[in-house]
């Protein structure tokens, strides 16, 4: 049983958001990495890419499947986690910490309000499984 | 029937086990309007002896026992006996695609060796397990370059094999990939660098050149690569005569190599099956189409091989796949692998050197039309219409060179002559004589 | 109880590069009968390569041992059944190998004079005519190199026809049970893909389809790509109706012919409304899989698509065969030359061996074998669709996964019993799919061994599921780490890389 950090917000597509000022760090949740199994590759957008809430920003691959990652927010990608290129397994090991995916400069900050709290997300995945 | 291993009594047993009385009940559920209510209008089955007879008659109606000076993308090279010995083994011939690694290590190991040898030959870092042939490897390489650069257009040299260019056009038409050609120098027979430069722009994803080119001439690959790279485009190097890699400098300046391996123990077989390859620099690994074999370990830590990066492929990525390719040319690639093994490091070089010497003997007697350096093929003007000189040669049981006006009308009576290690001096003398008039 | 196999020692073998030694060789070239030319002079020094670093240097003996040892690590049809669904792994008749190697056919150059190629061209004509009779279509091209290549060609023909009618349209419909090449192909031909659901019978949802064709944007639909029987082995009973619905809106019906082994001699796609289809000669027509190819993917069409066929087209002129390039509406070439001729020879030999009634008998045996397996395994495996099976049957792993064993693990355990696995997890509309196609060239004895193995495994899973989870146990190599291969792929040998343990 893993805890979902209280100060994060979550989406039904199993992404997490950690907002500080107008920069949001984004990743996938423990539930997501568990469902995907051993992750072998992460495809991230280039820095400067404009992303939109609900649209794909990249993908995560296991040996036999590819899953799209949906952007929880609209904005511009300011940073990407380069370490995942050589060590995609980090996404299985530490999805909420070391294996963050991208940082986005939010352009529509009130999109945050539509996201789920840790408690709500916990209930959601509890119901899903 | 000898391929149906069931006796009538066994069939009865099986029908009984299925709870049905007659075999017809197995397909009784087909819609009435779909049922074929007659036998197929094909002659009854024949014996093995008759099958051989049938095809022998076809073979007899096709040139046999002729010397040939045709090249143009399909080359006559001696096929070591070992190649057929190995590919005729049932474990290779009748095995499936190696998706189940534990019972396909034979195929996987051979493909890993194949991938390695292609890299060694071409100077690239990574290579796939084969494409259908050289002609389809070209558009696949172009599509790769488009994915990598995010640009749309490709430039292709007019002295890339004409049929390869036709295939590229067919594929490109529906990919939103404009294809433009650049010319060649009438004197050297090499690609025209000025024309290339004039056509290069920010929209060019790749420049596609072939060396030796269709005229047999060796290109200045570095110059073409430098130009392409200067404009942010990739250089795709194409080869149709694999034997040339035994002696010619590998295209290390290229980003992607697309080629044809027919020269390596693959019978000309009236046009196929052959085996193409795509090889590339390391950074393009994930954009390669087709199957890839990787080294790994099993649960006991022993070295073992498996297919990898399957997420590029159709069975997983479906409409977003790097290509739709599924079945490729594994057995043909195996033939080439055995060939490369039999000749080996020294053998491929000596083979290439012999080809060079044979063709240059011929060119010492028939003046080449172009001044550029060549490997085992060159262009020479026939003394009159090529059909005439070729007709004369047929009378001596020699198939002459390819008349080039079908692809390059501006070249008039030019013919493309190829001499390999199988070409005999006596026959070359006859050809030379026919060209003198 | 495992009856089909017993452990046996198998030779180890290293990689060629690891066995090489400078100066060893497996060849000898004849003495040159012309003066030797200095490459540096003839080519220019800049054009001459250094040695091919790392390339093998082994003797003929080592070469033959190397590849022979490797071959013994493979399973093959010559060793036993491949129950792979939709692959049609049938016997590869050996006489086909002989005839493909006859000198006149094997050494024919595609550019040699037509007058000297009449025999080879007759082979092409003979195969074309046989395949047209089998499919009930009007015209055919043998140019494509494999099924996926044929699919692309077929869809390009659809596009060319629609363009000639004024609008190429935008979408292609694909059933959710389709093979991955179908949507991949549609994309390559510049179309977007829309999925059609399957219904509880395991057939296409014709109502959903009809609905899509009623909408305002129905004229965006270029074609439906259907496999018949479907990848569930079930005949699409409404196929003629589906063809009618599509044709009414000017759309076409494309049939993926991968499952043709269920139809030959019993029914013909041309008769139930198909406009364009491809065949897989390496499936239905017995040409060898060879570890992954070569194949051949002929495309058969109805008359209206004929002007668009790839060039060249074979035709008779003054009593002789001739390649016709004067085809202004052609889609162009899809590959150089005329097709995988060597494969065409083998397919024609197969057809000649069976003959008309023989081909139908083969199909009936294929249906019998599949249904026999279905009957015998039904008590032990969950059968998601009760519709009649044709040449293949799809079970699900529902009963077994309740014990924690999924189709992939089950398949691996089958290896210990001496068989190649069935098709795992496809079609994706069946949860934990177990897709089985025996083909007609399996004896009752082989089928019984397979059935016994599957029943035995089902019992193992009932009583001690953990015991099968790490299968196979008796193969030379146990499960290979595919995760590592995907994370850190090593796609070539390098001299500096330390190789693993000695056991190779």
Enclosing domain of residue A68 = 14-128
Residue-level pLDDT at C500: 44
The pLDDT confidence band at residue A1, using thresholds 50, 70 and 90, is very low
Q: Which of B3, B15, B136 sits opposite C93 (nearest CB)?
A: B3
User: Has residue B28 been placed in a domain?
Assistant: no
Partner C contacted by A93 (CB < 8 A): no
For residues B159 and B240, membership in a common domain is answered with yes
Q: How many domains does the structure of chain B reveal?
A: 2
Chain B positions touching A61 (Cβ under 8 A) are 311
User: Has residue B202 been placed in a domain?
Assistant: yes
Low-confidence ranges of chain B (pLDDT < 50): none
Chain B contact residues (CB < 8 Å to A): 286, 310-311, 316-317
Q: What is the CATH number of the domain that holds A121?
A: 2.40.50.100
For residues B301 and B356, membership in a common domain is answered with no
Distance from CA of A61 to the nearest CA of B (A): 7
pLDDT above 70 coverage of chain C, percent: 98
User: Has residue B130 been placed in a domain?
Assistant: yes
Taking CA–CA distances from C425, the nearest residue in chain A reads: A64
User: Has residue B208 been placed in a domain?
Assistant: yes
Q: If contacts are CB pairs under 8 Å, which of residues 336-365 in chain C contact chain B?
A: 336-343, 345, 349, 351-362, 364-365
User: Has residue A8 been placed in a domain?
Assistant: no
Q: What is the CATH number of the domain that holds B366?
A: 3.90.1150.10
Dump pLDDT digits (tens) for B44-69.
Answer: 999 999 999 999 999 999 999 999 99
Evaluate if residue C504 carries a pLDDT over 70.
Answer: no
The pLDDT confidence band at residue C503, using thresholds 50, 70 and 90, is very low
Q: Do A64 and B317 make contact, defined as CB atoms within 8 angstroms?
A: no
CB pairs below 8 Å between B and C: how many? 693
Residue-level pLDDT at B241: 98
For residues B330 and B349, membership in a common domain is answered with no
Q: How many domains does the structure of chain A reveal?
A: 1
The pLDDT confidence band at residue A66, using thresholds 50, 70 and 90, is confident
Q: How far apart are CA B327 and CA C296, in angstroms?
A: 9
For residues B245 and B98, membership in a common domain is answered with yes
Q: Do C486 and A89 make contact, defined as CB atoms within 8 angstroms?
A: no
Q: How far apart are CA B171 and CA B165, in angstroms?
A: 10
Higher pLDDT, B224 or C428: B224
Evaluate if residue C448 carries a pLDDT over 80.
Answer: yes
Dump pLDDT digits (tens) for C340-384.
Answer: 999 999 999 999 999 999 999 999 999 999 999 999 999 999 999
Residue that finishes a domain, picked among B277, B311, B338: B338
Report the candidate in C47, C131, C80 with the shortest Cα–Cα distance to residue C419.
C80
Report the candidate in C269, C280, C233 with the shortest Cα–Cα distance to residue C85.
C233
Chain C contact residues (CB < 8 Å to A): 425, 482-483, 486-487
Residue that finishes a domain, picked among B308, B338, B368: B338
For residues B97 and B243, membership in a common domain is answered with yes
Partner B contacted by A63 (CB < 8 A): yes
Distance from CA of A42 to the nearest CA of C (A): 10
The pLDDT confidence band at residue A2, using thresholds 50, 70 and 90, is low
Interface test with B, best of C183, C268, C325, C335 (most B CBs within 10 A): C335
Give CA angle at A44 (A38, A48), nearest 5°: 165
Residue-level pLDDT at C497: 64
Q: Retrieve residue C432's tokens.
A: 């934990």
Partner B contacted by C55 (CB < 8 A): yes
User: Has residue B32 been placed in a domain?
Assistant: no
For residues B364 and B419, membership in a common domain is answered with yes
Q: If contacts are CB pairs under 8 Å, which of residues 9-48 in chain A contact chain B?
A: 40-41
Residue-level pLDDT at B314: 61
Q: Do B357 and C35 make contact, defined as CB atoms within 8 angstroms?
A: yes
Q: Do A41 and B286 make contact, defined as CB atoms within 8 angstroms?
A: yes
Chain C positions touching A64 (Cβ under 8 A) are 425
Q: Retrieve residue C103's tokens.
A: 């000198």
Residue-level pLDDT at C179: 82
User: Has residue A96 been placed in a domain?
Assistant: yes
Residue-level pLDDT at C56: 96
Return the bridge partners of C323, or none: C314
Strands (E), A21-124: 23-28, 39-43, 50-51, 56-62, 66-70, 75-80, 102-106
Interface test with A, best of C483, C488, C490 (most A CBs within 10 A): C483
Taking CA–CA distances from A61, the nearest residue in chain B reads: B311
For residues B409 and B426, membership in a common domain is answered with yes
Enclosing domain of residue B403 = 67-79+344-436
ipTM: 0.96
Partner B contacted by A61 (CB < 8 A): yes
Average pLDDT over residues C33-60: 96
User: Has residue A9 been placed in a domain?
Assistant: no
Average pLDDT over residues C131-147: 97
Q: Sort C69 into a burial class: Cβ within 10 Å, 0-12 / 13-18 / 19+.
A: middle
Interface test with C, best of A37, A39, A63, A84 (most C CBs within 10 A): A63
Dump pLDDT digits (tens) for C219-236.
Answer: 999 999 999 999 999 999
For residues B397 and B427, membership in a common domain is answered with yes
Q: How far apart are CA C298 and CA C446, in angstroms?
A: 32
What is the DSSP code (8-state) at residue B245? Answer: G
At residue A89, φ and ψ (nearest 5 deg) are -65, -15
Q: Do A89 and C487 make contact, defined as CB atoms within 8 angstroms?
A: yes
Q: Do B295 and C485 make contact, defined as CB atoms within 8 angstroms?
A: yes
For residues B297 and B408, membership in a common domain is answered with no
For residues B299 and B413, membership in a common domain is answered with no
Q: How far apart are CA B110 and CA C67, in angstroms?
A: 8
Residue-level pLDDT at B315: 67
Dump pLDDT digits (tens) for B65-99.
Answer: 999 999 999 999 999 999 999 999 999 999 999 99
pLDDT, mean over chain C: 95
User: Has residue B55 been placed in a domain?
Assistant: no
Residue-level pLDDT at C502: 36
**At a CB cut-off of 8 Å and minimum separation 6, what does A105 contact?**
A22, A23, A75, A76, A78
For residues B319 and B378, membership in a common domain is answered with no
User: Has residue A105 been placed in a domain?
Assistant: yes
Coil/strand/helix, residue B408 = coil
Q: What is the CATH number of the domain that holds B115?
A: 3.40.640.10
For residues B104 and B230, membership in a common domain is answered with yes
Chain A positions touching B310 (Cβ under 8 A) are 63-64
CB pairs below 8 Å between A and B: how many? 14
Distance from CA of A87 to the nearest CA of C (A): 8
User: Has residue A76 been placed in a domain?
Assistant: yes
User: Has residue B37 been placed in a domain?
Assistant: no
Residue that finishes a domain, picked among B322, B338, B354: B338
Chain C neighbors (3+ CB pairs < 8 Å):
A, B
User: Has residue B38 been placed in a domain?
Assistant: no
Chain B neighbors (3+ CB pairs < 8 Å):
A, C
Q: Render B35-89 in DSSP notation, one character per residue.
A: B--S--SSPBP--HHHHHHHHHHHHHTS--S-EE---TT-------HHHHHHHTS
Chain B positions touching C32 (Cβ under 8 A) are 354, 357-358
Partner C contacted by A88 (CB < 8 A): yes
């Amino acid at each position: 049983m893993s805890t979902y950090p209280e100060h994060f917000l979550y989406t039904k597509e199993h992404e997490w958001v950690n907002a500080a000022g107008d920069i949001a760090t984004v990743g996938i949740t423990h539930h997501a990495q568990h469902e995907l199994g051993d992750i072998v590759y992460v495809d991230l957008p280039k820095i400067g890419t404009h992303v939109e809430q609900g649209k794909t920003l990249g993908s995560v691959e296991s040996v036999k499947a590819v899953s799209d990652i949906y952007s929880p927010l609209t904005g511009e990608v300011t940073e990407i986690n380069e370490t995942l290129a050589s060590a995609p397994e980090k996404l299985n090991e530490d999805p909420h910490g070391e294996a963050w995916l991208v940082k986005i400069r939010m352009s529509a900050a009130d999109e945050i309000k539509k996201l789920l709290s840790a408690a709500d997300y916990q209930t959601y995945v509890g119901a899903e499984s | 029937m000898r391929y149906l291993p069931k006796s009538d009594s066994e069939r009865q047993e099986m029908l009984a086990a299925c709870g049905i009385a007659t075999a017809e009940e197995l397909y009784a559920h087909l819609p009435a309007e779909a049922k074929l209510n007659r036998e197929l209008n094909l002659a009854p089955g024949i014996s093995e002896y008759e099958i051989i007879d049938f095809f022998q008659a076809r073979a007899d109606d096709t040139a046999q026992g002729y010397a040939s000076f045709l090249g143009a993308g399909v080359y006559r090279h001696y096929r070591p006996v070992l190649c057929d010995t190995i590919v005729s083994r049932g474990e290779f011939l009748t095995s499936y695609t190696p998706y189940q690694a534990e019972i396909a290590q034979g195929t996987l190991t051979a493909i890993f060796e194949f991938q390695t040898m292609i890299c060694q030959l071409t100077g690239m870092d990574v290579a796939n397990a084969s494409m259908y042939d050289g002609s389809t490897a070209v558009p696949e390489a172009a599509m790769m370059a488009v994915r990598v650069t995010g640009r749309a257009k490709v430039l292709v040299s007019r002295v890339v094999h004409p049929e390869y260019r036709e295939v590229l056009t067919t594929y490109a038409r529906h990919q939103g990939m404009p294809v433009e050609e650049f010319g060649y120098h009438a004197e050297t027979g090499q690609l025209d660098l000025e024309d290339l430069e004039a056509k290069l722009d920010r929209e060019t994803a790749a420049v596609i050149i072939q060396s030796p080119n269709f005229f047999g001439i060796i290109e200045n690959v570095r110059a073409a690569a430098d130009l392409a790279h200067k404009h942010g485009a990739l250089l795709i190097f194409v080869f149709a005569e694999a034997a040339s890699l035994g002696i010619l400098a590998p295209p290390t300046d290229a980003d992607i190599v697309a080629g044809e391996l027919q020269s390596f123990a693959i019978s000309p077989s009236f046009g196929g099956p052959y085996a193409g390859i795509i090889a590339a620099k390391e950074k393009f690994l994930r954009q390669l189409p087709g199957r890839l074999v990787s080294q790994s370990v099993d649960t006991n830590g022993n070295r073992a091989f498996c297919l990898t990066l399957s997420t590029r492929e159709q069975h997983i990525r479906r409409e977003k796949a790097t290509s739709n390719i599924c079945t490729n040319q594994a057995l043909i690639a195996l033939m080439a692998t055995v060939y490369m093994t039999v000749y080996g490091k020294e053998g491929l070089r000596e083979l290439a050197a012999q080809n060079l010497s044979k063709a240059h003997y011929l060119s010492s007697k028939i003046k080449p039309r172009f001044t550029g350096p060549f490997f085992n093929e060159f262009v020479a003007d026939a003394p009159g219409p090529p059909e005439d000189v070729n007709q004369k040669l047929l009378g001596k049981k020699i198939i002459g060179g390819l008349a080039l006006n079908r692809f390059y009308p501006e070249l008039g009576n030019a013919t493309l002559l190829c001499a390999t290690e199988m070409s005999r001096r006596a026959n070359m003398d006859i050809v030379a004589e026919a060209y003198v008039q | 109880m495992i009856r089909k196999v017993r452990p046996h020692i198998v030779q180890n073998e290293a990689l060629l590069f690891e066995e090489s030694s400078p100066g060893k060789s497996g060849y000898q070239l004849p003495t040159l009968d012309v003066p030797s030319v200095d490459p540096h002079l003839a080519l220019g020094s800049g054009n001459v390569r250094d040695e091919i670093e790392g390339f093998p240097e082994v003797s003929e003996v080592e070469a033959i041992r190397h590849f022979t040892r490797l071959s013994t690590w493979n399973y093959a049809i010559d060793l036993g059944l491949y129950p792979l669904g939709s692959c049609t792994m049938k016997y590869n008749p050996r006489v086909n190998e002989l005839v493909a190697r006859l000198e006149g056919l094997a050494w024919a150059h595609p550019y040699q004079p037509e007058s000297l190629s009449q025999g080879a061209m007759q082979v092409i004509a003979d195969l074309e005519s046989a395949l047209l009779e089998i499919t009930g279509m009007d015209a055919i091209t043998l140019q494509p190199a494999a099924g996926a290549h044929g699919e692309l060609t077929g869809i390009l023909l659809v596009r060319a026809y629609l363009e000639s009618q004024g609008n190429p349209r935008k979408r292609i419909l694909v059933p959710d049970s389709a093979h991955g090449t179908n949507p991949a192909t549609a994309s390559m031909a510049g179309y977007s893909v829309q999925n059609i659901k399957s219904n509880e019978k395991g057939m296409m949802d014709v109502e959903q389809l009809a609905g899509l064709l009623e909408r305002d944007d129905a004229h965006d639909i270029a074609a439906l790509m259907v496999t018949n029987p479907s990848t569930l082995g079930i005949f699409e009973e409404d196929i003629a109706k589906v063809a009618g619905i599509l044709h009414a809106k000017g759309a076409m019906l494309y049939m993926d012919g991968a499952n043709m082994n269920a139809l030959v001699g019993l029914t013909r796609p041309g008769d139930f409304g198909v406009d364009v289809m491809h065949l897989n000669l390496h499936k239905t027509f017995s040409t060898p899989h060879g570890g992954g190819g070569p194949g051949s993917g002929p495309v058969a069409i109805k008359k209206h698509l004929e002007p668009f066929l790839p060039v060249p087209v074979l035709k008779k002129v003054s009593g002789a065969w001739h390649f016709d390039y004067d085809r202004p509406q052609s889609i162009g070439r899809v590959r150089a030359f005329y097709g995988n001729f060597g494969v065409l020879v083998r397919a024609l030999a197969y057809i000649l061996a069976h003959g008309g009634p023989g081909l139908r008998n083969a199909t009936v045996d294929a249906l019998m074998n599949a249904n026999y397996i279905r009957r015998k395994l039904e008590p032990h495996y969950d059968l998601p669709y009760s519709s009649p099976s044709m040449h293949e049957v799809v079970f699900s792993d529902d009963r077994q996964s309740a014990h924690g064993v999924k189709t992939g693990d089950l398949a691996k355990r089958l290896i210990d019993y001496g068989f190649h696995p069935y098709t795992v997890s496809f079609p994706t509309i069946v949860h934990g799919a177990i897709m089985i196609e025996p083909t007609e060239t399996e004896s009752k004895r082989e089928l019984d061994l397979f059935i016994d193995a599957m029943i035995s495994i089902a019992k193992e899973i009932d009583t001690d599921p953990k015991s099968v989870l790490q299968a196979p146990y008796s193969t030379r190599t146990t499960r290979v780490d595919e995760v590592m291969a995907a994370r850190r792929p090593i796609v070539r040998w390098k001299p500096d890389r330390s190789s693993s343990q000695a056991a190779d």
